[in-house]
Amino acid sequence: MVKRSTRYILLAWLLFIAAAVAVVFRTHFVADLSAFLPKSPNVKQQILVEQLKEGAIARLVLIGIEGGDATQRADASRQLQAELSKRPLFSVVQNGDPAAMQADQAYYFKNRYLLSPAVEKDHFSEAGIKASIQQLLIAMSGDSGLLIKKLLPSDPTGETLQILEQFMSSGGPRTEDDVWVSKDGQRAVLMAQLASSGLNTDEQALALDDIRAAFTKASQHTPQLKLVMTGTAVFSVYSRDTIKSEVERLATLGTVLVIVLLLLVYRSFRLLLLGVLPVASGALAGIAAVSIGFGYVHGLTLGFGTTLIGEAVDYSIYLFIQSGQEKKAYFWRTIRLGVLASIAGFAVLMVSSFPGLSQLGVYSIAGLLVAVLVTRFVLPVLMPTQLKMPALTGTATILDHVFEGLRHIRWVPIVLLVVSFTYLLMNHQRLWSRQLSSLSTISAAQSQLDAKLRGDFGNTDMRYIVSFHAPTQEAALQKAETVSGVLNQLVAANQIQGFQSPSNILPSVATQQKRLAAIPDQATLVKNLNAALVGMPVSADKLTGFVTAVTAAKQQGVITKAGLAKTASGVLLDSMLIRRANDYLVMMPLVPLANGLVTNTFQQSLDRAGLAGVSVLDVVEETSGVFGRYTEEAMTLSLVGSAAIVALFVFSKGWRTAWRISFPLLCAVVVVMAIFAWLHIQMTILHLVGLLLLVAIGSNYVLFFAEDETDRDLASRQKMEVSLVVANLATVCSFGLLGTSSVPVLSFMGSTVGIGTFLALIFAAMLVRQRYVKASE
Amino acid sequence: MQQMRKLSVVTRACVGISLLVAAATSMAAEWGVNDLMQSLSQKKAGTATFVEKKFISTLNQPLESTGQLAFTAPDRLEKRTLSPAAESMILQGDKLMVERADGKKLNVSLSDRPEVSAFVESIRATLAGDKAGLEKYYAIVLNGKPEQWQISLTPTQSKMQKVISQIRIQGTKTQIKMITFLQADGDRSEMTITETSSK
């Protein structure tokens, strides 16, 4: 006969589970790098984040071919270029082959009269033409005359040189055997741009597979060749795959470990199944809550989530092992306070601007609440009235002795605290890592490859950028022209070596129209040309190509972005002129002088020139800025979280007890930090979160020890101790597993909590546990 | 008998003379690229003025430029053009620095630009007497004698052949008098060099 209230409880639980499952089924899971990017950055960081996520730079895949000899590499490079150019996922693939660069050369040459800054009023007057041709003749008599002389018949006014001038400061990769090669010549290099900026990680993975397939085809007769790739897409896909496989591996292993542990303790499948119920319900609730709150669940949240097993399973362990004791009220009171402490700790994470952390906060709170509610209301209903727990008296007695022994060395945590604290103070400058890369899944070898390939491409390091936004493409290009004017002065004043501007590739319509207006009709042009050539060593009949080209340019009219399809310059333009939802963002890379650039001074130069809304950013500085802010935020959050937990203790237990139970946790936190410092592991925000978790989980231990009255009977006390040890083992196992992960964020958190909770238990036993006094006395 | 002896004396003298001549001829034949390079490599530094004429098919008359050259062994070569526009080219080791009339500077690393490298080595390696440096890019043929020699450099790399068909360097002893670039398209440039100092 089941009681009515019991039926309602079971029904409510089943309904809840069904609803949660329904939500989880519709959940969108992501596993890219987005969890590391801030939600509410400042303007400069916003630009950076956008670019990291989907900018033109993010769309580039740099490819290297290694091994074999130079000819084999060059052949493979050409085949790979030809093959990939055919595939729809790529907008342009370049390998330095002049044949592949033809579209670019054709664009500049064909449109030279619209692109050349020299084309102004009077440029095609008699005097204007004479001056231009004289200048070209002088250039022809100089050291590069051999190359320049080819321009004379079709471009006697030297517009091509004017255009080239604008690109002077940017070098390219080294060329050998007509393909790009690395600086040492040991690697052929190519550049592929993904067609769409909105590619998700799955599509990026497909594109990378395309590259691999094309390479396999290109190298089928030369198996000694090796393909290497780098770029945001490569990193995203790699991170996703690593996180995915890691989360799966850890979840499986963690579950198996905890199951084995529980089976050893319970020796009952029924209890095991029951023990898993709160965990499973909590995990489902957590995922559903994050899904509802954020619209998606990050794979990393799931990774952290496996750690919840560590805490949620504790409740059923406490319940089962400590069952049968008279003081139920005391038991639930302790559990309630423990859960509240954990929730207080996790709640502060929810407000983090680091999406990964706020998801973790929501996940943990929902998960813990549901787990504890299921333990409190569902498990007692489903539990057999007579629990057949194996007699753990032997183990319990030994444990009790060990704990009793630990009491005698209660000075140890105090000494450790002092030593650790001193050590931390002495090394406080190197405690924290300020590099965003320290969180990245990318291995050191991959970062090195990335740096090497980027180095091969010369000026692709976009460290200093002049940036602004404008409502339309035309407005953006016009402003870029104004900015170029100022930057040109700064180049002349030797403040920078050079810069790139989208307007050099595609001038604004206004400028183009001005240039078109400067071109006279054919009859006038011929008349001016003939008059200009009087007394010059050139005859008009050698220059017919010139008249035709100028006339054609006038007729053709304004050029648009469409003319840049399938060109490398189009890729460059896209990277500098970025279309956003409501406006256009312009990013103009600066080529600094050898001694770098002081952004503040440079910003002042721009401001003085009257350029409003144009800012200079140092990408390296901004990136560490993003991360520095994270670390500060996480420190604040951890402190607030810990303070909330302590406040809770004070509120429910009074000052004295609150101090007594907080002290072992403080010792554990400081000692763990000192261990990391001693091992030369720089701490990141994930370590901080780990410390917060340690406080949350560890508070359960201290609370049980503290609640333990001296007049309790030995058996129930020993049961409590066994339950704490088993719970701690479960935690150390699951977090310890995380500690072995190759994903840094998982491993950082895992090692912190794994080591920390163990210390917390030991310290709690030393400092909080009271000496047993026989009840009869 | 007397006659015979006379004859034989004459014969012997003739044989002797012809041997001498043969020896002299073979000595001349033995003066080769190695010897020229050896003597050129003795020179440690030198300065000169130059007049360069470019004969270009699209132009009715040659383009002329003048300036100064300076060489310091083993690998520094400066070419300063003074007219019609100031321009300088300094080659030092692997680095090529170009400075134009408007003050713009350009730095090129030769190992990054093999074609530029081939071009500048034709002059620098000749001045330095660096035969191996020349042979990296050219097939060398020497004509003439130490007092009046000419080396013809034919590019061995197809990329270079597309631009230059041959480079001819004429000289007297250790002085280079003229460098002619024959371009693949039929144009040519002639640089006449007048030495002003030498060490």
Q: CB contact, 8 Å: B158 with chain A? A: no
Closest residue in A to B104 (Cα–Cα): A492
Alpha carbons within 13 angstroms on the beta-carbon side of residue B172 total 5
pLDDT of residue A251 exceeding 80, the answer is no
Highest mean pLDDT among A253-257, A395-399, A654-658: A654-658
The percent of residues in chain A predicted with pLDDT above 90, rounded, is: 13
* pLDDT-derived band at A34, boundaries 50, 70, 90: low
Length of chain A: 777
DSSP for A122-169, written as a single string = TTTSHHHHHHHHHHHHHHHHSTTHHHHGGGTTT-TT-HHHHHHHHHTT
- Beta bridge partners of residue A468, listed in sequence order: A586
pLDDT band at A566 (very low <50, low <70, confident <90, very high): confident
- A63 burial (CB, 10 Å; 0-12 / 13-18 / 19+) is buried
Type of residue at A222? T
- Which residue's structure tokens are 């390079």? B37
B63-72 vs B76-83, strand pairing mode: antiparallel
Contacts of A462 (CB under 8 A, 6+ apart): A57, A587, A589, A619
pLDDT of residue A757: 92
- Interface of chain A toward chain B, CB-CB under 8 angstroms: 137-143, 145-146, 149, 152-153, 168, 174, 176, 178, 183, 537-539, 542
B52 CB within 8 Å of a chain A CB: yes
Contact flag A138-B85 (C-beta cutoff 8 Å)? yes
Average pLDDT over residues A46-54: 62
Q: Per the CB < 8 Å rule, is B65 touching A142?
A: yes
Query: Residues 81-100, chain B: which have Cβ within 8 Å of A?
Result: 81, 84-85, 87, 89, 98, 100
Complete DSSP assignment for A699-722: HHHHHHHHH--TTS-HHHHHHHHH
For the ranges A369-378, A553-562, A565-574, B15-24, which has the lowest average pLDDT?
A: B15-24
Q: What percent of chain A has pLDDT over 70?
A: 88
Spell out the residues 6+ positions from residue B43 whose beta carbon is closer than 8 angstroms to its own: B71, B73, B127, B129, B174, B198, B199
Confidence of residue A756 (pLDDT cuts 50, 70, 90): very high
Asked whether A526 and A546 are in contact (CB, 8 A), the reply is no
Q: How confident is the model at residue A773 (pLDDT cuts 50, 70, 90)?
A: low
Distance CA A119, CA A111 (A): 12
pLDDT tens digit sequence for A282-341? 989 999 999 998 888 887 777 666 666 667 788 888 888 776 655 567 788 888 888 888
What is the least distance, in Å, from the CA of A142 to any CA of chain B? Answer: 7
Q: Do B98 and A149 touch (CB under 8 A)?
A: no
**Cα B29 from Cα B25, distance rounded (Å):** 6
A143 with B61: Cβ contact below 8 A: no
Q: Which residues of B touch A152 (CB under 8 A)?
A: 56, 58-59
Say what the pLDDT of residue A24 is.
86
CB contact under 8 A, A174 and B112: yes
pLDDT per position as a tens digit, A276-289:
888 889 989 999 99
Q: So what's the pLDDT on residue A326?
A: 54
**pLDDT over threshold 90, residue B111:** no
- The predicted model gives A424-430 an average pLDDT of 84
Mean pLDDT of all residues in A611-621 = 79
At B2, the pLDDT band (50, 70, 90 cuts) reads very low
Query: Predicted confidence band at A709 (pLDDT cuts at 50, 70, 90)?
Result: low
Q: How far is CA B148 from the centre of its chain?
A: 12
**Number of A–B residue contacts, CB under 8 Å:** 58
Closest B-chain CA to A456: B112
pLDDT, mean of residues A383-393: 68
Residues of A in contact with B188 (CB under 8 A): none
**Rounded Cα–Cα distance for residues A16 and A10 (Å):** 10
> Distance, in angstroms, between A76 CA and closest chain B CA?
20
pLDDT at B8 over 80: no
Helices A328-350 and A355-373: crossing angle in degrees, nearest 10, is 160
B51, B52, B55, B56, best to mutate vs chain A, most A CBs in 10 Å: B56
Site from B102, B112, B120, B158 to mutate, A interface, most A CB atoms within 10 angstroms: B112
> Model-level pTM?
0.66
Identify the residue among B57, B58, B94, B189 best suited for mutation to test binding to A, counting A beta carbons within 10 A and taking the highest.
B58
Mean pLDDT of B76-89: 88
**Calpha distance A532→A652 (Å, rounded):** 98
Per-residue pLDDT at A634: 77
Within 8 A by CB and 6+ apart from B164, the residues are B119, B155, B181, B182, B183, B184
pLDDT in tens, A162-213: 887 776 555 567 777 778 888 788 899 998 888 776 557 778 888 999 999 9
CB-based contacts of A361, cutoff 8 Å, min separation 6: A346, A347, A348, A349, A350, A351, A352
Q: Which two tokens stand for residue B48?
A: 């000169």
Identify the burial level of A29 via C-beta atoms within 10 angstroms of its C-beta, where 0-12 means exposed, 13-18 middle and 19 or more buried. middle
What mean pLDDT do residues B176-185 have? 90
Candidates B58, B106, B183; nearest CB to A152: B58
Asked whether A214 and A84 are in contact (CB, 8 A), the reply is yes
Chain B residues whose CB is inside 8 A of the A162 CB are: none
- Chain A residue numbers touching B65 (CB-CB < 8 A): 141-142
How close is the nearest chain A Cα to the Cα of B171, in Å?
22
Closest listed residue to residue A313, CA positions, set A711, A727, A608, A723:
A727
pLDDT at A31: 65
Inter-chain CB proximity A146 and B85 less than 8 Å: no
Q: How far apart are CA A598 and CA A600, in angstroms?
A: 6
The ipTM estimated for the assembled molecules is 0.78
Contact A142 B81 (CB under 8 A): yes
Residue B146 touches partner A, C-beta closer than 8 Å: no
Q: Report the C-alpha gap between A754 and A482 in whole angstroms.
A: 58
The pLDDT, as a whole number, for residue B131 is: 87
pLDDT of B15 reads 54
- Reply yes or no on whether the pLDDT at A151 is more than 70: yes
Q: Which of A435, A416, A436 is nearest to A675 (CA)?
A: A416
What is the spatial distance between Cα A51 and Cα A231, in angstroms, rounded to a whole number? 13
> CA nearest B122: which of B95, B151, B87, B83?
B151
**Chain B closest CA to A510's CA: distance in Å?**
29
Indicate the helix (H) or strand (E) that contains B165.
strand B164-172
Q: Which of A137, A183, A542 sits opposite B63 (nearest CB)?
A: A137
Contact B106 A168 (CB under 8 A): yes
Q: Is the pLDDT of residue A399 over 80?
A: yes
pLDDT cut 70: percent of chain B above it: 82
B52 contacts in chain A (CB < 8 Å): 141
Does the pLDDT value for residue A37 go beyond 70? no
pLDDT at residue A510, as a whole number = 93
Q: What is the mean pLDDT of residues B19-24?
A: 50
Torsion, CA A409, CA A413, CA A414, CA A416, rounded to 10 = 120
Decide which of A484 and A539 is more confident. Answer: A484
Look at residues A234, A241, A254, A268 and name the one whose alpha carbon lies nearest to residue A305: A254
Nearest to A259 by CA among A242, A272, A274: A272
In this structure, are residues A650 and A701 in contact, taking their beta carbons and an 8 Å threshold? Answer: no
End-to-end CA distance of chain A: 44
From the number of C-beta atoms within 10 Å of its C-beta (0-12, 13-18, 19+), residue A653 rates as middle
The helix (H) or strand (E) run that includes residue B97 is: strand B95-99
Residue B67 exposure: Cα atoms within 13 Å on the Cβ side: 22
Mutate to test the interface with B, among A146, A181, A533 (most CBs of B within 10 A): A146
Q: Before A380, cis peptide (omega within 30)?
A: no
Nearest CB to B56 within list A138, A149, A178: A149
Q: Nearest CA to CA, how far is A119 from chain B (Å)?
A: 19
Residue B115 pLDDT more than 80? no
Contact A660/A706 with Cβ under 8 angstroms? yes
Instruction: Give chain A positions within 8 Å (CB) of B98.
Output: 143
Does A39 have pLDDT greater than 70? no
**Chain A contacts in chain B segment 6-45 (CB below 8 A):** none
Of A141, A152, A178, the CB nearest to B64: A141
Average pLDDT, chain A: 82
Whether residue B65 and residue A146 make contact (CB cut-off 8 A), yes or no, is no
CB-CB neighbors (< 8 A) of A138 in chain B:
84-85
| Main-chain dihedrals φ then ψ at residue A294, nearest 5 degrees | -115, -20
Select the more confidently predicted residue: A40 or A641: A641
Q: What does DSSP assign to residue A376?
A: I
Which of A60-69, A603-612, B27-36 is most confident?
A60-69
Q: In the predicted model, is pLDDT for residue B51 greater than 90?
A: yes
Do the Cβ atoms of A478 and A194 come closer than 8 Å?
Answer: no
